[in-house]
Structure formats: structure tokens, C-alpha cells
Amino acid sequence: MAFDLVTVSDRRHSALQKGFNLRWPLGNVQGQSSTKGANLIYLCRSPQDIMDAAAQALALPNGRITVRSGGHCYEGFVANKMPDSPNEVLSILDISALNRVVYDASGQIGSELSPTQPFRYRFRLEAGSQVWDSYSALYKQANKTLPGGSCYSVGLGGHICGGGYGLLSRKYGLVCDWLSGVDILVPDSQGKGLEPRHVSRDSTQQDELDLFAACCGAGGGQFGIITSYYFEDLPPAPKEVLWLVLEWDWSVLTQDALNNLLVAYQRWFASHQSNPDTWGLATKLEMRHEHTGNITLGIHYVDKEGELNDRAPFDDFVDKMLTAIGLPATESLVPFHVVHLPPGTAGGRPIDSVSSAQAAARRLDWLVCQQTLNGSGDNQRGRYKSAYQKGEFSPQVLQAIWTTLTWPDPDNHLTQSLIQIQSFGGQINAASAPVRKESSAAQRSSFLKWQPQCYWHDDSAAADQAHADWIRELYGNAFADAQGVPLNNAFEGCYINYPDLDMTYTGGNPANGKNPQWYKIFFPDLMIESRLRRTKQRWDPHNIFRNEMSVP
């Protein structure tokens, strides 16, 4: 057996128990292993390693396996033992060493797991490859890209099967919309090991098509272990990008000004959904708690040809936002991934017109821009939520946002806390019928995507509770008429790749009991939800791959 087995006696054990979010495993202390985390970590270098490791781990009494590629799961689904299972022997199968990016211009790449299958592809991306490495390799090998995320160390394993969303998704759609085939190790009939399968968008068996669709947006760690993703084609990498970050200091910000900006922000993307020439404009609006810092609006733009010859959509967007807020912005000077921007530090040149925005915008080669924006930030404790917004901002939601940004914080806990609202829609919403048919990405009507988030280093119970209260109150107030859940006429639920255990409770609050209908919040399309339940029963009837938010 070629895998490397890390046990508690190995000095690497405490580090390899952990992922990016240092809330996990429960009881996490730096330099120490947690009894509530993985007992064993298998470092796998091939699909055969994974099968051998799974067989060994599942043969242990009370054995359970999880899989890790990049380690960015927001909740503790990989790192934690299941609740009320103190005798569980948890093994993490780390597949980060499976990180090759393979390209064949003639399109003759076959399945590594099932080479007798007739399907052929141009690209094979192994599931352990990280986002930045994949972008760089695809650009250099084929002048292609993935319309994926901008955190460099996220692994493709969980990113793509959860949908795969990023700054090029309005222009090109979700990464999973381009997916053509998948190598996946699924449980055997006894649930004692794994066996190889290849499923394709062109599979002829319905149960294989269902499994492929589950790999297109249902999230990872639920049906098997994906080892490779296959693509018949990928979108061309843009030549250049226009990049600008506007910043508004808290000293000049008013509630009315922010409300006006938010209303105009949503309306711009909703009103331009029908114009593909504008889909190359993508944004991140980051509204920080007043103890965290200023408001920023990052604007990433390429024209319809992937160049910068037509800048009319960029100019129009900037003009509409500056007019709406009615306050001059400044050019933000700090790296975009920095969360803490103390009020009073906005020192960039003033931006109060389209011409001043044009002068401040940076014209960057596409690969340079991706490297510039590819920041994952510090490994620390974090909490996250999500929401898809299809309608306008109501007075209730606007008030909830302002209340959250000015939330009393006498102990100064909220120094890395923000409400991020990103652009959405475009090609995502315009996906073809064949793509939608084999997709589990249920939200195809929204124009904005929320990602409230907060970070902290202090591992005290008080710090943990302060951040939990802050982020929960946002949803409790914003969606009070929907029992604290973003599922109503203006919102279409949450993103499975930003998992949030709060949403599994009634009212989105763990103080209440479990909500038996929680899965509909993430998959509000009944056809998709029903298919995922059926697929789980077909491919993993023994529930080998389980966590607190796996298919119920």
C-alpha cells in the first residue's frame, strides 16, 4: 500500500487534523490533536491508494471516512466526528496529492478509472488540484480557464461538485456547467469499500446520469470520492481585465446613502440580465462592520471578446453606483483580500466621476489579475452564511443590513466581520436546457449572491458567541417574515458550498429544534431535490458518506 498513514503518534497529526477554518475540529488547540477530530489521516497519491485506505478505514470498528482536497469546508464535516458518536473512528482521506492538470488538443483523453469507457475529452483535472495551480496550468497549456473562485488554495474536489462560482461566472456560467465527465469512487454493494466508476453527461443509464448531475452542484462528500473531472472544452481565458476597488469611509457614510447604493446595485444586474455584452462585469460589494472598516466595491471587467475594447458597461455601472450613493469614493489601496480596513485610513485618490474612475482603474493581463486577487487570508476561526437574491431590497432587509453593520460591540470582537454581496446571473441564469437537465445547481433566477462572513483568532467561548450572535441576527432580522431563512419572493435559498448548520434548524437558530424541511433551503427545486434523494439511495444506500448536511 502506497498511502502514508498519519496516526496520533506522528508529529504531523495535529496539523493534518485541521483545515482552513480553525474552528474545526472541535476542541482544536494549536500543536495538539483533538479527541473530537480524526483519529487517522491517510495521505493518498492515487485512486488505488484511496480504495486501499477506504477499505482499511471502514474495516475498523465504528469506522467512518471523509475526504479532503483543499481543506476549505466552512463547517466541520471533514474534520469532526459525527455528533453523539464519541466512539467513532474517523479517518480523513487526504487526496491533495492527486493534482495533475492534463490537456490533449485532439480530445483523446479517456477515463483513468474506467479506460474501456468510450468517452473522450480534452481536459482532465484531478480533484486535489488547487484553484490557482489549475488556472495557471490551463492558461499556459491551452489559453483556457475555469469560471471558478478566487481563493488560491481551494481544492477542485469540493469546489466544482458544489457548482464552482467566481468572477467569470456571469460571463461563462458555473464551472459545473462545463463539466463533461467524472471519475468517482463509489461504495461497493456491502458498504465495506469503494469501487471505480466513470459517469458522463452522455451516459446512457439513468442512474449514471443522476450521479453525474449530483456531481454538478450537490456538494462533495455525499456520494463517493471524485478523483478527476473531465471537460470536452473550457472557456477561453480573457486577454485583459479592468480592475477597480471603490472605497467609502465610515466617516462619510449614511444609512440613506448605503440604502440607495444597494437598491441601485441590485437593479443594475437585474436590468442587464438580457444583455450578454454586460456579462463580463462582476463585482464584490463588501460592507464591513464599523469596527472592521470601510465599505468597498470591487469591479472586475472584461468585454464580450475577453478584452477591453468596449468599456461602456464598466462606465455605466460606475456612473450608476456613484450617482446612487451620492458620496465621493476613494481608490482603495490595500490588497483586496484584506478584511480589516479601519475607518479613517482611506487614502487613495478621490473618485467622483466616470473619468476619475477610468484614471484609477488598473489594466491587467488576465493571469496577473488572477494572481493579484487570489488571496485566501489567514487560517483562523470563521463563520459564514449565504443567500441568493432575485428580487429588490425590501425596507426590512435594508434596515437589517444597517443594524448589523452598526451592531453594538463593546468588547471589540467584530474586527473582521462583513456582509459580502457579489454579482450573479448572466450566463448562469441563461444556461441551456441540456445543461440545466443534468445540473443540481437549483438557483438560476438570482442577480446577487450573499456571503456574510466573520473571522477571529481568539478561541474563547465569548469570542465564538459574539460572532455567532452577530451573523445570526442579520438573518433573523432580514428574513423575519420568512422565519429567519432567505427563501421568499425575493430570495431563493442558500448555496450548498457555503454550508451553514444554522439553516438546518427551525428559524435558522440552533436554539430551536431541527427543521425537517431544511434541505429545500439549499435545493428549492423539487425535481432536483427528489433526484438527489434517489441518487443517494442508489449509490450510497449504507450511508458511508455522511455528515450533518449530507442528503437526508
223: CATH? 3.30.465.10
Phi/psi of residue 100, each to 5°? -80, 150
66 and 150 housed in the same domain: no
Instruction: Name the H helices within 249-353.
Output: 255-271, 312-325
Question: Cα separation of 244 and 412, whole Å?
Answer: 30
89 and 177 housed in the same domain: no
Look at residue 249 in the predicted model and tell me its pLDDT.
Answer: 94
187 and 218 housed in the same domain: yes
- Please report whether residue 203 resides in a domain: yes
Residue ranges in the chain modelled with pLDDT below 50: none
- Please report whether residue 196 resides in a domain: yes
β-strand pairing of 240-248 with 225-231: unpaired
CB neighbourhood size of 545 (10 A): 23
CA geometry: angle 143, 374, 147, nearest 5 deg: 45
Residue 225: which H helix or E strand, with range?
strand 225-231
DSSP 8-state symbol, 37: S
121 and 84 housed in the same domain: no
Question: Cα separation of 216 and 175, whole Å?
Answer: 9
Q: Give yes or no for a contact between 509 and 502, defined as CB atoms under 8 angstroms apart.
A: yes
Look at residue 1 in the predicted model and tell me its pLDDT.
Answer: 64
In a 10 Å sphere around its CB, with 0-12 CB exposed, 13-18 middle and 19+ buried, how is residue 528 labelled? buried
Spatial neighbors of 380 by CB under 8 A, at least 6 apart, are 21, 22, 416, 455, 456, 457
Residue with cell 467561548: 461
Phi/psi of residue 278, each to 5°? -100, -5
Q: What range defines the domain where residue 69 resides?
A: 4-94
- Please report whether residue 229 resides in a domain: yes
β-strand pairing of 387-389 with 240-248: unpaired
Q: Within a 13 Å sphere around the CA of 395, how many CA atoms are in the beta-carbon half?
A: 0
Q: Give yes or no for a contact between 15 and 32, defined as CB atoms under 8 angstroms apart.
A: no
Residue with cell 491517510: 42
- Please report whether residue 499 resides in a domain: no
Q: Give yes or no for a contact between 404 and 474, defined as CB atoms under 8 angstroms apart.
A: yes
Q: Give yes or no for a contact between 282 and 314, defined as CB atoms under 8 angstroms apart.
A: no
44 and 106 housed in the same domain: no
Question: Final residue of a domain: which of 41, 66, 94?
Answer: 94
Helix axes 255-271, 395-405, angle to 10 degrees: 130
Here the cell at position 281 is: 462585469
- Please report whether residue 275 resides in a domain: no
- At residue 94, what is the residue type? D
Question: Cα separation of 76 and 82, whole Å?
Answer: 9
- Please report whether residue 146 resides in a domain: yes
Closest residue by Cα to residue 65 from 532, 519, 540: 540
DSSP 8-state symbol, 144: B
212 and 125 housed in the same domain: yes
11 and 26 housed in the same domain: yes
Percentage above 70 pLDDT, the chain: 100
Closest residue by Cα to residue 161 from 429, 439, 412, 377: 439
Question: Final residue of a domain: which of 64, 94, 124?
Answer: 94
128 and 219 housed in the same domain: yes
β-strand pairing of 89-94 with 63-68: parallel
Q: Give yes or no for a contact between 72 and 122, defined as CB atoms under 8 angstroms apart.
A: no
115 and 146 housed in the same domain: yes
Here the cell at position 414 is: 467584530
- Please report whether residue 334 resides in a domain: no
Look at residue 304 in the predicted model and tell me its pLDDT.
Answer: 97
105 and 213 housed in the same domain: yes
105 and 89 housed in the same domain: no
Question: Cα separation of 503 and 509, whole Å?
Answer: 7
Q: Is the peptide bond before 236 cis (omega within 30 degrees of 0)?
A: no
107 and 232 housed in the same domain: yes
Look at residue 335 in the predicted model and tell me its pLDDT.
Answer: 82
- Please report whether residue 463 resides in a domain: no
How many domains does the chain contain in total?
Answer: 2
Question: Final residue of a domain: which of 60, 77, 94?
Answer: 94
Phi/psi of residue 293, each to 5°? 145, -160
Residue 417: which H helix or E strand, with range?
strand 417-423
